[in-house]
Amino acid sequence: MNFKLTSNILRSAWAIEPQTALSHGTLIHSLLEGKDILERITEKSKPVFLELSQNKQSNEKSSSNKVAVIPIKGELMKYDEPCEPAGMQTIGTWIKEADNNPEVDAIMLDIDSPGGTVDGTEALGDIVKNTKKPITAFVNGMMASAALWIGSNADKIIASTPNDQIGSIGVMISFADMKPYWEKQGIKFHSINADQSSDKNKILADALKGNYDSLKKEMLNPLASAFIDKVKENRPNVSDKHLTGKMFFAKEVVSTLIDDIGNFDYAVQETINLINNNNKNLKAMSENGQNIDERTFMQKVAETFGLKPVEKQRADEIEQLKSTLNDYESKMSDMLQKFESLAKEKQEAGEQLTSAIQELENLKIENERLKNLPGAPEIIEKNDTDGKADSDGKLYDPSKSFEENYQAIGKAFGLLS
């Protein structure tokens, strides 16, 4: 018995087209019975590399583009199985190798799959999304569930015929309760949890009793939400009717779940067009003298084709921040002008204060001179018994120095700190 394969079937959450899951009931029964199914072993599909010449004008040399065609076939699981197509981890390795191969210009995913386990799907989808080179998805029969999750990350999706099957966006789990069968054989089951482990296997135990709420709430629903969010991000034109798990014909979902319909040659040509547009953008930016890094280049290419809306959204947020910053700069400029005007007024007031105090000092000197004239002391004594008629209750104090009077008056009018 293939224990790893059997474990994947029985314990995993699956993003798979339901009819495919049901059609494998006989196979699963054979596995559980321990029957030999190695006759199903077939040679795994592997990537192929297409080198396609382009005819140019007579005065230019002909060139060629190399496209890596990577198969995504059959039921998908995270790891390779001896009797199944390549696992998602291996497919991810193929994509990264092609993306880093300087001789490869673009990547095309050849998809004919009903989906598979959720485990491994998100990681492979992220690899597809983050390729540096153009990548297309060619639907060669079916792109359902986990296969759609993966393929939706491509730059362009093309179905081979109008009746290719697309969809099944959702998550499910299916298991058989074998306890009644074995109990009839006289086997008694005992499940004992540690005192500290009251929640261990609780979801499964509840499901075996027919209560599926915890299984859906804590496992299936979060996975389905992640799946739906990713499809919405990658294919912004989808509507709610596409997200319920229903299957569609390709002709029903053009411009939503897929971009176009055409045969393999057409898909290859569209991939080459992505290469050419990619090169044109790079050449245009180089001619404009822009020194750009790889990330900036990919953002500009994405903006050109309307791809990767998350990056576009970030660019819009940056523009909004720039606009806000410009508003702040304008307000700051107005405040600086007002400050400069107030400073100028303060300087003029200070100059007037200095002149006034200087005049008072001159009057003080003149007053002292007049005191020394014949008859002056009698007049002062008569009219000013304390000798400070000009100082009591007033800012200017004739008995103080010029600097003391200047500081006192300046502080009173807020001209000096």
Residues 265 and 369 in one domain: no
200-208 mean pLDDT = 85
pLDDT of 7 above 80: no
389-393 mean pLDDT = 45
Q: What is the pLDDT of residue 386?
A: 45
> Which of 254, 275, 296 is a domain's end point?
275
Q: What is the pLDDT of residue 388?
A: 43
Is there a domain that residue 323 lies in?
no
Residues 13 and 144 in one domain: yes
Query: Residue 310, SS3?
Result: helix
The pLDDT confidence band at residue 241, using thresholds 50, 70 and 90, is very high
Beta bridge partners of 165: 142, 249
Residues 350 and 271 in one domain: no
> Which of 240, 275, 310 is a domain's end point?
275
Q: What is the pLDDT of residue 158?
A: 96
d(CA 336, CA 124): 55
pLDDT of 139 above 80: yes
Instruction: Output 332 or 317, whichever has higher pLDDT.
Output: 332
Is there a domain that residue 40 lies in?
yes
Q: What is the pLDDT of residue 383?
A: 44
Q: In sequence order, which ranges of 62-145 are alpha helices (DSSP H)?
A: 88-100, 121-129
Q: What is the pLDDT of residue 145?
A: 92
Is there a domain that residue 321 lies in?
no
Instruction: Output 342 or 42, whichever has higher pLDDT.
Output: 342
Instruction: Output 393 or 187, whichever has higher pLDDT.
Output: 187
> Which of 275, 296, 325 is a domain's end point?
275
Instruction: Output 343 or 71, whichever has higher pLDDT.
Output: 71
pLDDT of 197 above 50: yes
Residues 107 and 222 in one domain: yes
Q: How many CA atoms lie within 13 A of 247 on its CB side?
A: 19
Residues 94 and 170 in one domain: yes
Q: What is the four-CA torsion angle of 199, 200, 206, 207, rounded to 10 degrees?
A: 140
Instruction: Output 10 or 316, whichever has higher pLDDT.
Output: 316
Instruction: Output 185 or 417, whichever has higher pLDDT.
Output: 185
* Neighbour tally for 324: CB within 10 Å: 10
Domain that holds residue 39: 3-190+198-275
Is there a domain that residue 14 lies in?
yes
Residues 379 and 236 in one domain: no
258-287 mean pLDDT = 79
First to last CA, the chain: 92
The CATH number of the domain holding residue 17 is 3.90.226.10
Is there a domain that residue 313 lies in?
no
pLDDT digits (tens, 9 = 90+) for 291-315: 455 555 555 555 555 554 454 556 6
The pLDDT confidence band at residue 264, using thresholds 50, 70 and 90, is very high
Is there a domain that residue 290 lies in?
no
Is there a domain that residue 123 lies in?
yes
83-107 mean pLDDT = 90
Q: What is the pLDDT of residue 12?
A: 53
Residues 271 and 355 in one domain: no
Is there a domain that residue 332 lies in?
no
Residues 87 and 203 in one domain: yes
Q: What is the pLDDT of residue 335?
A: 84
**How many domains, the chain?**
2
pLDDT of 34 above 60: no
Residues 269 and 346 in one domain: no
Q: What is the pLDDT of residue 255?
A: 93
Q: What is the pLDDT of residue 416?
A: 64
**Total residue length of the chain:** 417
